Amino acid sequence: MEKLKKAGYARLVLRIALSLIILSLFISCGGDRIKNPEARAGVMDLSSWSFEKNGNVKLDGQWDFFWKEFIDPSKSDVTLTPVSAVVPSIWNDVQVKGKPIGGIGYGSYRIKIILPESAVGKYFSLKLRDQATAYCAFLDGRPMGSNGTVGNSPETHRGEYRHLVKSFFVDKKEMVLVFHVSNYDHQKGGLWESVLLGEEEKIQVIKNSSLSFDLFTFGAIIIMSIYHFGLYLLRRNERSTLYFGFFTLFIAVRTLFRGEMFIVTLFPGIDFHLQVAIEYLSFYWAVPIFLLFMNVLYPVEFKKIITKIMFAVTIIFSLSVMIFPMVMYTKWMMFYQLIALLEGLYIIIGLVVATFRKREGAFSAISGWIIFFLAVTNDVLYMNNVVNTGEFSPLGLFIFIFSQSFILSLRFSQAFFSVEKLSENLNKLNIANSRFVPKQILSFLNKDSIVEIQLGDHVQKKMAILFSDIRKFTSLSEGMSPEENFNFINSYLSRISPVIAGEEGFIDKYLGDGIMALFPHKSMDAVTAAVKMQKEIHLYNIHRVNQNLEPITAGIGIHAGVLMLGTVGEENRIDATVISDSVNLTSRIEGLTKIFGASIIITEDVRVEMPGDSGFSYRFLGIVRVMGKQKTIPIYEILDGSEEPAKVLKARTKEIFENGVNAYSTKDLNTAQDYFKTVIRENPEDRATKYYLNKIRFHLGHPDIEWDASEIQIK
């Protein structure tokens, strides 16, 4: 185990090292392959530089600087004595008369450029970036471009950030470049960005490439932002997508205000102070939003109190942007940058801990974050003129955002996997529940799932009801163990249940040795199922006899009527059931099969729905009365449920038997007795005939007793 841990640590260190190497490669790719020449004492000697082979040149180094003077750009000789100022850098620390000049004021920069002989007769360009905070550039006294309005007072000065490319024809080896610069807006002043010189085509390629990369970065990040906002709208409980959407939105907005400053191309008249304010605010709010994102992803490693403190700090700095003038709030940016760097270190520590704890996506997060953090650190140093490498935040951000998107994608894939798992479990649960609550009942109640069932749900519908019961089950069960009893019942039910389902019916209740089934479409379905059930029992008996087991018989009663299907019970325990007089009547009809020795008995309501070509034969058994009611019910025996010898005999004597039943119902007992005797001679085992003969003998022997022809009451 210890070896595995050490191997895991080694892999982590290796991955972090690889991330650092990748970043260093990016940084190295951003610089010039050949060392850029440096200006010395106000002169940039490029006489030995090959623009064709070595490319463009940054006019970096020591420029002549004239504090609080706008020198005449058309004169090469100036009587004033300059001081030396490094470009690119801010002029705040430049000393004049032994004192630093600070950030506010105006002055002139001048540099003499000596070109190679090969440059003469060609078109060259100057790529001018934003400077602090207004300038006007002159080449040999000719205006080359400007940002804002240069002035010697706050009233005559107007700041602006804009990137320019200015082309010119080289007609001589030596030329003088002069910048008039003023600053009354920012805490830093001067030429803080490099001036790039090169052949016109190459400079244009640099500009187009930089602008294309900025637009590509903005488009990719804003799409990522919209995508994550969309994810949040689809899943409101996944707050990480919302926070990451806001983070990428702030970064996308900031991209427009940095680099090639495409925002100025979109809105040429944008207010300079608004431009700077949005640039600052987008940076301010991206920091705590990302910390909040980390807090949601890894709540154990990142504490809420730190996030709250960061939000409080951000609110204070944001208010300073909205309340104080630009010259004041720009002084405080370096403090927020320091806080942001500390937060970056805090996030690295938290992600390292999360990686060791094997948190989901932690390694991807730390890899992307280290690259982004180092890129931002480079840019902070670059903006404060500590290094002159260039801005790498967009590239680091690009890598970082994709690493974070991978984390969110991983979380969503896990969520989808969980949903699939839950769906599978729910499907299994529904299948299991359907074994207890028939899915047909859910359908009748207009419910898609058992979870939608509420206490009191009900529906009224006409159906056929089938009751079935095993004869002499008590005596059978006495000779079996409990396990054998259950095995017997399940074996029996496994044979007849598919028969019921095959006729579009379903079993509503298992009643030990009996069942109650419902047929919602046609009564004929119940009759067909009953006949097939009896045939299945005949086949089952063959199996039982072969096993030296006693054969079984079962009686089936069928009735059709209006039912009330619904749920009863209380909130913590409900059951689906059927409530109707028809249910009780059907149960009693099934009980009559014992009296009449019939396999299947149906009521008149079922018989009238049987088509003439049903193929089933039946005989009239008589009229019965439901206990407690005056209404009488004609009942019939389905002969197809009997075994073949009995079925043939009952069919042969059907007419005589029914004549006897009709005579009995009119109390013509002697005539009825004659009919039934004829039947019994033909079919001595006809229990229904024996029943009527016994009743007739009783009434003939007791003529004084009042009786009703429908006295076969269902109890």
pLDDT tens sequence across 294-317: 898 888 899 999 999 999 999 999
What separation in angstroms does the CA of 40 have from each of 51, 62, 177, 312, 321? 20, 5, 14, 47, 39
- Per-residue model confidence (pLDDT) at position 423: 65
Of the candidates 635, 700, 684, the residue with the CA atom closest to the CA atom of residue 661: 635
Domains belonging to the chain, first-starting first, are 2-28+207-415 (1.20.1070), 43-194 (2.60.120.260), 439-616 (3.30.70.1230)
Q: Please enumerate in sequence order all residues whose Cβ is within 8 A of that of 562, keeping only pairs 6 or more positions apart, or say none.
A: 460, 461, 462, 580, 582
Helix (H) or strand (E) holding 572: none
pLDDT for position 14: 41
Q: Give the pLDDT score at 6.
A: 42
Write down the pLDDT at residue 457: 58
Of 375 and 138, the structure prediction assigns the larger pLDDT to 138
Cα dihedral across residues 38, 40, 44, 50: positive or negative: negative
Residue 575: what pLDDT? 61
Query: Residue 274 — very low, low, confident or very high, per pLDDT cuts 50/70/90?
Result: very high
- Considering only residues 16 and 273, tell me which one the structure prediction assigns the higher pLDDT: 273
pTM above 0.75, yes or no: no
Q: Is residue 454 over pLDDT 60?
A: no
Maximum mean pLDDT: which of 48-62, 462-476, 576-590: 48-62
pLDDT(22) > 70: no
The per-residue pLDDT of the chain, averaged, comes to: 82
User: What confidence category does residue 479 fall into, taking pLDDT thresholds of 50, 70 and 90?
Assistant: confident
**Based on C-alpha coordinates, what's the Rg of the chain?**
49
The pLDDT-based confidence of 360 (bands split at 50, 70, 90) is confident
**Whole-number Cα distances in Å, 134 to 166, 183, 384:** 17, 6, 18
Judge if the upstream peptide bond of residue 88 is cis by omega within 30 degrees of 0: yes
End-to-end CA distance of the chain: 77
Residue 27 has pLDDT above 60, yes or no: no
- Residue whose pair of structure tokens reads 């006899």 in the numeric block: 545
pLDDT, mean of residues 46-67: 93
**Contact predicate 403/367, CB 8 Å:** yes
| Tokens matching residue 305 | 């109190």
Q: pLDDT tens across 650-677, in order? A: 999 999 999 999 999 888 999 999 999 9
Q: What's the full length of the chain, in residues?
A: 715
**CA-to-CA distance for 129 and 196, rounded, in angstroms?**
9
What are 189's two structure tokens? 């002043």
What single-letter DSSP state applies at residue 149? B
Is pLDDT above 50 for 95? yes
Cis omega before residue 133 (within 30°)? Answer: yes
Of 63 and 337, the one with more pLDDT: 63
30 has pLDDT over 60: no
360: left (phi over 0), alpha (psi -120 to 50) or beta: beta
| % of the chain beyond a pLDDT of 90 | 39
Confidence tier at 60 by pLDDT (50, 70, 90): very high
Task: Tell me the C-alpha distance between 639 and 368, whole Å.
Answer: 83
- Residue in this structure with the two tokens 């006019």, named with its chain if needed: 59
Torsion angle in degrees (nearest 10) through CA of 248, 254, 259, 261: 130
The span from the CA of 648 to the CA of 536, in Å, is 19
Q: Is residue 688 pLDDT above 70, yes or no?
A: yes
Instruction: Report the pLDDT value the prediction gives residue 616, as an integer from 0 to 100.
Output: 85
Q: How large is the average pLDDT for residues 616-622?
A: 90
Cα–Cα separations (whole angstroms), residue 684 to 89, 101, 482: 125, 134, 38
Q: Which of 302-306, 492-496, 565-569 has the highest mean predicted lDDT (pLDDT)?
A: 302-306
Lowest-confidence pick of 84-98, 336-350, 433-447, 525-539: 433-447
* CA 464 – CA 563 distance, rounded (Å): 9
> Token digits for 295?
């807090």
Identify whether the C-beta of residue 531 lies closer than 8 Å to the C-beta of residue 639: no
pLDDT at 373: 75
Using CB atoms within 10 A of its CB, is residue 323 exposed (0-12), middle (13-18) or buried (19+)?
exposed
- In angstroms, rounded to a whole number, what is the distance separating the alpha carbons of residues 139 and 180? 12
- Strands in 458-505 per DSSP E: 458-470
Which pLDDT belongs to residue 531?
92
Inter-residue contact 64 to 107 (CB < 8 Å): no
**Nearest C-alpha neighbor of 128 from the set 141, 119, 118, 137:** 137
